[in-house]
Amino acid sequence: MALLIIGLVMFLGVHSVRIVAEPWRRAQIERLGERRWKNRYSVVSLIGLVVLIYGYGLARREPVVLWAPPVWGPHLAALFTAVAFILFPAAHVPNNHFKSVLHHPMTVGVALWAFVHLLAVGTLNAVVLFGAFLVWSLATFAAAVRRDRVAGTLYPPGEWSRDAMAVVSGLIAWALFAFLLHGWLIGVRPLG
């Protein structure tokens, strides 16, 4: 469990700098330059991600069961994880309806992914992992909405063709992950 927590602190910590230390972040970007800042940010993120995945795998070897998930939990998780995977590319496709309505679709997608995984897995390591991501995504969303309000950010109306790009790319990524990568990386094949 310790490696899982260390990985979470690294990964979510670096992704929380903008929330808790925006002036420091700006100073680092100014000092290092945007490219070097992003390179360091990416390295710490990647190391944290690898450590948390490895730590989660280790913690799964001796699970502490907190509750028995409902039979429908994994099915609901698969369905709503597909929606979350659509919201991830929607954050990067300009002028789509997801972005014009949600403003921060990736953060909403992470919250959705974490919540449905909490329903589908009732172990302590799952609560630590998905609970941390759920709390982080809600805090990140609130901070982003606050930044938008202060900056007077307006989101342009969506275009259906842009929605289609997000939906198609998200569903392809979801299918690859659900049918292939989830089993290989996580050790669980959610769809058989």
Angle, helices 34-61/2-14, rounded to nearest 10 degrees:
160
CA 104, CA 27: separation in Å to the nearest integer? 25
Angstrom distances, CA of residue 79 to CA of 56, 99, 171, 175: 23, 21, 11, 11
CA 114, CA 77: separation in Å to the nearest integer? 9
| Residue 149 structure tokens | 């309000």
pTM of the model: 0.90
**Any idea where the domains of the chain sit in the sequence?**
1-62, 64-192
CA 117, CA 182: separation in Å to the nearest integer? 13
- For tokens 């606050």, the residue is 146
CA 151, CA 153: separation in Å to the nearest integer? 5
Q: What is the pLDDT along the chain (192 residues), one digit of tens a residue?
A: 999 999 999 999 999 999 999 899 999 999 999 999 999 999 999 999 999 999 998 999 999 999 999 988 888 999 999 999 999 999 999 999 999 999 999 999 999 999 999 999 999 999 999 999 999 999 999 999 999 999 999 999 999 999 999 999 999 999 999 998 888 877 778 776
